[in-house]
Structure 1
Amino acid sequence: MQEIDGAHGEGGGQLLRTSVALAAITGRPVHLRNIRARRANPGLAPQHLAAVKAVASLCGAEVDGLELYSREIWFRPGPLRGGQFDFPVGTAGSITLVLQAVLPVAVMCPERTSMHIAGGTDVRASPPLDYFRHVLLPLMSGMGVRAKIDVLRRGYYPRGGGEVIVEAEPSSSLQPLVLDTPGTLAGIQVFAHVANLPNHVSQRMANSALTELAPFYTLGVEFELLGRNRAIGPGGAVVLVGQTEHTRLGASAVAQRGMRAEELGAAAGRFLRQEIVSGATLDVHAADQVLIYLALADRASRFLTRSFSSHGITTAWLLEQFLPVRFQVRQAGQLICVTAEPGLD
């Protein structure tokens, strides 16, 4: 049984989610202790329970210690299996964080997997749903990941209630992601939505973001105004996508009570401008989230990023505990080059 100390590195929920995903993919049981030890409220929150249960469903795992606020679990996976599944988070817990755990497993299943996931679609401290749809999925599609997300309803903090359908096809062998240069910038796409709020809120977020990105060409702006039939409670988000010749860079902001729409949009715009000007080939958030797919690829991958977070460092360490892969992180001028070499013990 693989022993993992949940206090290692950044000591948060990503270590838990990735550990159970890797256990399911490799068939190797894992014992996690000190779960989320470095957080103010350690142990399993509802969204972490949902993620572990979701992964367990895809491999028929036996799990001990799986209860709210638990700091220790034993996860014993069985064979991977596709099919239809229903994963309710039960709160405004992030749907995209559940997807971080379950999607790599679904991709490795021997048959098609369909998942209905209910929770928060656009909540703070997690990727907004449109970032996952318009930045991460297209990047992973280039590796051979075949998945799509249909939004049934949006949900926000504190009520949740959002619903998505995720379809994933088997992808037993993934291609590498080799991004040495972003190439020419084609332009910026904007995806802005608000729910149960005035439409001008999304327009103000988008316009403020585009003001920060004024030197660059705008490919398109997509606004959504959602009522009660398509969203639970008030909320919204803006997601910016810089499409280049070889990759795409993302930035986002989630609507927050007490923060003006202009502030949120401008912050997202400044972030994306930094990514574009730097010459990075993955934005700093995508750099963390693609690592498990790079480790599962059949050949070496590499990319350039402005910074490599403690999340990324911890995830790279964890992947090396389960898989025959080695990561190299080195300075490359003003950027950081991350290389993943599968097949190396």
Structure 2
Amino acid sequence: MLDFYIFINLFFRGYYPRGGGEIIVRVPPVKHLNPINLVDRGTVTKIYGRAFVAGVLPYKMVKDMASAALRCIRREMRDLHVNIQTVQEPKDGAFGNGSGIIIVAETSTGCLLAGSSLGKKGVTADQVGNEAAEILLRNLRHGGCVDEYLQDQLIIFMALADGISQVRTGPLTLHTQTAIHFAELLTKAKFTIKKCEEPNTENYIIECHGIGFKNKNI
């Protein structure tokens, strides 16, 4: 895993498309990045999430999103405990109107995979909850250690790390393929992709020989 920490202070929530949120992010510098090793997903141990509404939107939408997501998950995972928190954001802690849901699956090896969806005009709360749950389930089916939205975010860290990184993913997204292409051009790191030969899954190992970039300022 990457040996650095990120500290985030949330002061105000903002919602698509107007935004208006406010956070402060602090990232202490490090001398170098250790390689990533995410190849053993383990088993899913718990699922939890957060459904929210803000502004003038009714609290009933939160209940509908959470209930729809739970029904969808239960069709494939009957025995696992699922805890989706329902939240009405305080008016002094959010800007504008918004709704949405995020659902996270945590595994026995510490992997986190997620699905999320935002409310929008013309889309029911049930549809929003279903979409988030379907995205999560889709990312659990492929057997990888990261979801489709984290895939490409790890590429630059793998390229800069000091050593060989390996990450098990589902089908490679176009964002990931693009990130690999430009990471190789910019850093001269070398990536290889190998399809895993496992029944009933479609996952890949992304391997990278990182360049061992050093922070000369510390």
Task: Specify the TM-score bucket, using the shorter chain as the normaliser.
Answer: 0.7 to 0.9
The structural deviation recorded for 1:314 is 1.0
- The SS at the match of 1:229 is helix
The structural deviation recorded for 1:145 is 2.4
Query: Within 2, Cα distance between the matches of 1:301 and 1:179?
Result: 8
Partner of 2:73: 213
Partner of 1:10: none
The match for 1:172 among 31, 55, 60 is 31
TM-score (norm: length of structure 1): 0.56
- The SS at the match of 1:205 is helix
Answering whether residue 138 of structure 2 is matched by residue 294 of structure 1, we say: no
Partner of 1:125: none
The match for 2:64 among 204, 217, 231 is 204
Query: Within 2, Cα distance between the matches of 1:343 and 1:294?
Result: 9
**Alpha carbons of structure 1 residues 252 and 279: separation in structure 2 relative to 1, 3 Å:** same
Partner of 1:229: 92
- The SS at the match of 2:87 is strand
Structure 1 ranges of 4+ moved more than 4 A = none
- The SS at the match of 1:284 is coil
Answering whether residue 98 of structure 2 is matched by residue 239 of structure 1, we say: no
Answering whether residue 148 of structure 2 is matched by residue 284 of structure 1, we say: yes
Query: Within 2, Cα distance between the matches of 1:205 and 1:149?
Result: 27
Q: What letter matches 2:104 in structure 1?
A: V
Partner of 2:205: 337
- The SS at the match of 1:328 is strand
CA contact (8 A) 2:6 2:26 kept: yes
Q: How many residues align?
A: 203
Query: Within 2, Cα distance between the matches of 1:314 and 1:206?
Result: 35
Which structure has more RCO (C-alpha within 8 Å, separation ≥ 6)? 2
Query: Within 2, Cα distance between the matches of 1:167 and 1:284?
Result: 26
Query: Within 1, Cα distance between the matches of 2:175 and 2:211?
Result: 23
The structural deviation recorded for 1:282 is 0.9
The structural deviation recorded for 1:186 is 0.8
- The SS at the match of 2:102 is strand
Aligned CA RMSD, in angstroms, stands at 1.8
Which 5+ residue runs of structure 2 have no aligned equivalent?
A: 213-218
Which 5+ residue runs of structure 1 have no aligned equivalent?
A: 1-141
CA contact (8 A) 2:161 2:211 kept: no
Partner of 1:150: 9
Query: Within 2, Cα distance between the matches of 1:262 and 1:328?
Result: 41
Query: Within 2, Cα distance between the matches of 1:181 and 1:226?
Result: 37
Query: Within 1, Cα distance between the matches of 2:47 and 2:170?
Result: 19
More helix by share: 1
CA contact (8 A) 1:146 1:170 kept: no
Q: What letter matches 2:160 in structure 1?
A: L
